[in-house]
């Protein structure tokens, strides 16, 4: 979903006037990003599906109130983030402690500066889910938008309604929490007697 797409205003205007094809185009254009954002924030495919449906229902009934002060994409992202955070709160998805964010047999991510690549293995995808859910929600949302939706700081600022400076601080703290949680994972592995896996370089030397 590209912020500031040139034809968004025309689509919004058409859909608000009852053009069903325009609304279907809006859904087609933005549904993947809405689902992806909801999935990263809620940690559940089922929740993400429901959030995405709720988002476009709200978009449909609110288009006449859309005043184009921001791009249509920014507006939809804002609705998606708020809906996903609401669902996450209601379901109490966040683990109680950092250590509980990890299963005993998981491989602790080797990169302590950012979440694992969600395009990797199924285990990587699960690690992403657990790492993101271990974050406080005010840090989780901007990190998701930055790391997984590829947004610039000013775009995230407009979506979340906070300053660029606050966006940068929250993303910094999110990454800091991730480093701490990866450390908790490694400590949990040590305490339970699970041997940390060797890297490929270490294996080659042994």
- 104 shares a domain with 70: no
Judge whether 122 lies within some domain.
Answer: yes
Report the CATH number that the domain containing residue 20 is assigned in CATH: 1.10.1740.10
User: How far does Cα 153 stand from its chain's mean position?
Assistant: 15
Q: Are residues 106 and 46 in the same domain?
A: no
- In whole numbers, what is the pLDDT of the chain averaged over residues? 79
Query: Does the pLDDT of residue 59 top 80, yes or no?
Result: yes
Q: What is the 3-state secondary structure (H, E, C) of 40-57?
A: HHHCCHHHHHHHHHHHHH
Please give the pLDDT value at position 7.
78
* pTM (predicted TM-score): 0.74
Q: Does residue 184 belong to any structural domain of this protein?
A: yes
Whether 121 and 44 share a structural domain? no
Same domain, 164 and 149: yes
Q: What percent of the chain has pLDDT over 70?
A: 69
The pLDDT score that the predictor gives to residue 100 is 46
Question: Pick from 78, 93, 108: which residue ends a domain?
Answer: 93
Q: What is the pLDDT of residue 130?
A: 80
Query: Cα angle at 2 between 31 and 170, to 5 degrees?
Result: 95
Query: Is 202 part of any domain?
Result: no
Domain that holds residue 79: 1-93
65 versus 109: which is more confidently predicted?
65
Q: Which pLDDT belongs to residue 91? A: 78
Structural domains counted in the chain: 2
Tell me the pLDDT tens digit for each residue of 119-150.
Answer: 445 556 677 788 888 888 899 999 999 999 99
For residue 114, the model assigns a pLDDT of 52
For residue 200, is it within any domain?
no
Nearest alpha-carbon partner for 130 in 156, 104, 166: 104
pLDDT tens per residue across span 105-119? 445 555 444 555 554
- Which tokens go with 86? 């609401």
Same domain, 83 and 104: no
56 and 104 co-located in one domain: no
Asked if residue 144 and residue 84 are part of one domain, the reply reads: no
End position of a domain, from candidates 70, 93, 116: 93
Do 145 and 158 form a contact (C-beta atoms < 8 A)? no
Both 40 and 105 in one domain: the answer is no
Specify whether 84 is located in the same domain as 148: no
pLDDT at residue 182, as a whole number: 74
How large is the C-alpha radius of gyration of the chain? 19
80 and 167 belong to one structural domain: no
108 CB-near residues (< 8 Å, 6+ apart): 102, 182, 185, 186, 189, 196
Mark whether 66 and 110 lie in a shared domain. no
d(CA 47, CA 64): 27
Mean pLDDT to the nearest integer, 47-74: 91
Q: Which of 73, 93, 113 is the last residue of a domain?
A: 93
> Measuring CA to CA, which residue among 32, 45, 21, 118 is closest to residue 73?
32
**CATH number of the domain that 134 lies in?**
1.10.10.10
Give a yes or no: residue 203 inside a domain. no
- What is the rounded average pLDDT of the residues 72-84? 95
Same domain? 111 vs 81: no
């Amino acid at each position: 979903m590209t912020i500031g797409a040139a034809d968004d205003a025309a689509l919004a205007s058409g859909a608000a006037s009852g053009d069903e094809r325009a609304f279907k185009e809006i859904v087609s254009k933005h549904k993947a990003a809405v689902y992806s954002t909801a999935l990263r924030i809620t940690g559940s495919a089922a929740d993400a599906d429901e959030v995405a449906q709720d988002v476009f229902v709200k978009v449909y009934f609110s288009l006449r109130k859309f005043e184009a002060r921001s791009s249509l994409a920014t507006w939809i992202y804002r609705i998606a983030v708020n809906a996903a955070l609401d669902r996450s709160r209601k379901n109490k998805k966040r683990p109680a402690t950092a250590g509980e964010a990890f299963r005993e047999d998981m491989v602790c991510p080797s990169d302590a500066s950012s979440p694992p690549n969600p395009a990797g293995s199924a285990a990587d995808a699960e690690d992403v889910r657990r790492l993101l859910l271990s974050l406080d929600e005010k840090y989780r949302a901007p990190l998701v938008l930055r790391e997984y939706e590829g947004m610039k700081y000013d775009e995230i600022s407009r979506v979340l309604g906070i300053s660029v400076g606050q966006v940068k601080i929250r993303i910094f703290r999110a990454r800091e929490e991730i480093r701490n949680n990866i450390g908790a994972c490694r400590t949990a592995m040590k305490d339970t007697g699970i041997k940390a896996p060797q890297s490929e370089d270490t294996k080659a030397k042994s």
